[in-house]
Structure 1
């Protein structure tokens, strides 16, 4: 008799999320199977369900969601080397195929909203015993995306003045990470008072309401009149981009980490060119960023305890999606536990 498990499956044709019983997958050549201990619920999961996002490379019309996954190795496929059952691991959020195409876990192939998940052996990352699964699972994407934006796309240097618009699942971690690399001041910008309070707790030097009429003057004062070296849009809102461009300094960079699916407008090329400013697109992260963050957590430099807003059983995946979509409780990350 084939072993069965629960899985949170998106039926793409009718955009329906169903927690259903499916066969436990068997690892193929070069794959490991993990017993999932924790899986994050991301806004992109919500967008897959509501139709804002659509899988590009999914061979079928059904997929198990979940690209933020951690657990214990349960079984090894043929040819797997260097791994043993019982090891604590997290899974990279995706992999490259032979042509170099990036395939995303839980989007283009089955992810971790399930009791068991498969992973190619080169997408498995060991985690220390003292890093809880609920924290480890969100490192791919929720933490690695802002880390890559801060360190690679923006090339943020110590002492640079920075601001983060949108202190949600990604922006909250950006605040922590910018402080970690020595940016100063770190300014958090959000219209929600609770989000601004959270930003202060996470290490922001100051917080601002983007709706205040004195906003631009406040940024100039906080930066000694020079403006921002880097502005990060983690909100994906047109008004954020427009506002951020008005407070960039000389050689200032605006990093678009949020996706608005709207045009990016530069009001006037004259000051933009004169001050040699730049608008930089950002998406996701690479395997090395996840490994760097695990190393930082192992060294005690990165504390993600405050990022886990709540833990729900896998059977309540639909409720977790509803809470993320409605922003109930203003969560950083909700976690599913099989």
Structure 2
């Protein structure tokens, strides 16, 4: 094996992204080195490059991007528990506990300062990546690496927003704003848990068509003058039990709040630095509505999704919109930025 590897690196200080040759990392105590087979390109990566998102805990100025990663175990560091061996097929959780906050010190959930792979420490846009052994999840032989890579974040983030933060219920109406990389999976996952009706909102006709293909009962244009009337009609006048914002657009949040039923909840999944406002705050309080922040997922959500694919309840084949070599990472970022082909997920392969 050569002593250097190709990696997609972001200089956070200058917002400069470049492919660089860097040393192949050596696993330390409790770490495993992974030979990367696939890594997803997420809108969060685009936002890191354009500066609208910034790492909170990055130790230096540069980081290898990529928080959606799958591959095979390549080498074990000292003190890795038995059960892991070279050649095993794995995906990597998108982050890990900090190990220092009061909750981590007391071994309770949740960690108060979660570190995100490819943001706060080096990720998987590289030929090799390091992972703490407890962030590894074994994957079945019949799950392609490209599909396994996107489970952390692209699939697990909407899953956690649905079943944990949003507490979606069977036969209760849910609205999904933004049917892109996460929202498309939200529609698919809401069908699995029996939410009904599932109503998608997206300004792009192709995205609305995709929402229907993925299982939405109705797909609406949020810019249409009669949008609110059609949303209420789809819920038999009751409004939404849960609204999920995957767009990260302030206007979407205001519109979603207006569609909530009494006691309804809005989960903010899309990340945006803009202020959050509620225009009719008295009505909001009177109806007992809630706005819930959401970020990422817990390890159990990733494991649940791997099991759902194992038992053929969840098919992610339609989610892979294209595959590019790692050397073309900048082109992949450009395609996602311009929404060329309206991709769900583009995949980098070293």
Scaled to the shorter chain, the TM-score interval is over 0.9
Check the 8 A contact 2:11/2:62 in 1, yes or no.
yes
1:337 and 2:331 correspond? no
* Aligned match of 2:274: 262
Pairing 1:69-80 to 2, within 5 Å after superposition: 69-80=69-80
Instruction: Show structure 2 runs of 5+ residues with no match.
Output: 102-112
Contact 2:154–2:181, Cα closer than 8 Å, also in 1: yes
Aligned to 1:41: 41
Moved more, 111-120 or 5-14: 5-14
Tell me if 1:225 matches 2:237: yes
Report which stretch shifted further, 153-162 or 262-271: 262-271
Q: Which residue of 2 aligns with 1:193?
A: 205
- C-alpha contact 2:52 2:273 (8 A) present in aligned 1: no
- Match for 2:227 among 190, 215, 221? 215
Determine helix, strand or coil for the equivalent of 2:329.
Answer: helix
What is the alpha-carbon distance in structure 2 between the residues aligned to residue 261 and residue 227 of structure 1? Answer: 28
Q: Is 1:295 the counterpart of 2:296 in the alignment?
A: no
CA distance in 2, matches of 1:52, 1:92: 23
**1:85 equivalent in alignment to 2:68:** no
Q: CA deviation at 1:275?
A: 2.1
Determine which of 336, 339, 342 is the counterpart of 1:324. Answer: 336
Partner residue of 2:258 out of 246, 255, 274: 246
Q: How far is the alpha carbon of 1:2 from its aligned partner?
A: 5.9
Residue among 274, 286, 297 paired with 1:285:
297
Distance in 1, Cα, partners of 2:251 & 2:13: 33
Which residue of the partner structure matches residue 108 of structure 2? none
Which TM-score applies when normalising by structure 1? Answer: 0.97
Query: What pairs up with 1:1-338 in 2 under 5 angstroms?
Result: 3-81=3-81, 82-100=83-101, 101-338=113-350
Q: Matched residue of 1:212: which SS?
A: coil
Deviations 1:226-274 (A, max 9, x none): 1111111110111111111111112111111112222222222332233
| Structure 1 SS opposite 2:160 | helix
Tell me if structure 1 keeps the 8 A contact 2:171–2:195: yes
Residues of 1 paired with 2:67 and 2:125: CA distance?
8
- SS of residue in 1 equivalent to 2:171: coil
Alpha-carbon distance between aligned partners in 2 of 1:273 and 1:18, rounded to the nearest angstrom: 48
Q: Secondary structure at the match of 2:170?
A: coil
The alignment of Structure 1 onto Structure 2 pairs a total of residues equal to 338
Match of 1:21, SS?
strand
Q: TM-score, normalised by structure 2?
A: 0.94
Report Cα offsets for 1:60-107 as digits up to 9, x if no partner. 111111110000001111111220111000001111122143111111
Cα distance in 1 for residues equivalent to 2:98 and 2:309 = 29
Q: Deviations over 1:174-213 (max 9, x none)?
A: 1111111100000010000000000111010110011111
Q: Could you say what secondary structure the match of 1:272 adopts?
A: helix
Offset of residue 12 of structure 1: 1.8
In 1, Cα distance between equivalents of 2:280 and 2:66? 42
Residues in 2 aligned to 1:2 and 1:131: alpha-carbon distance in whole angstroms: 29
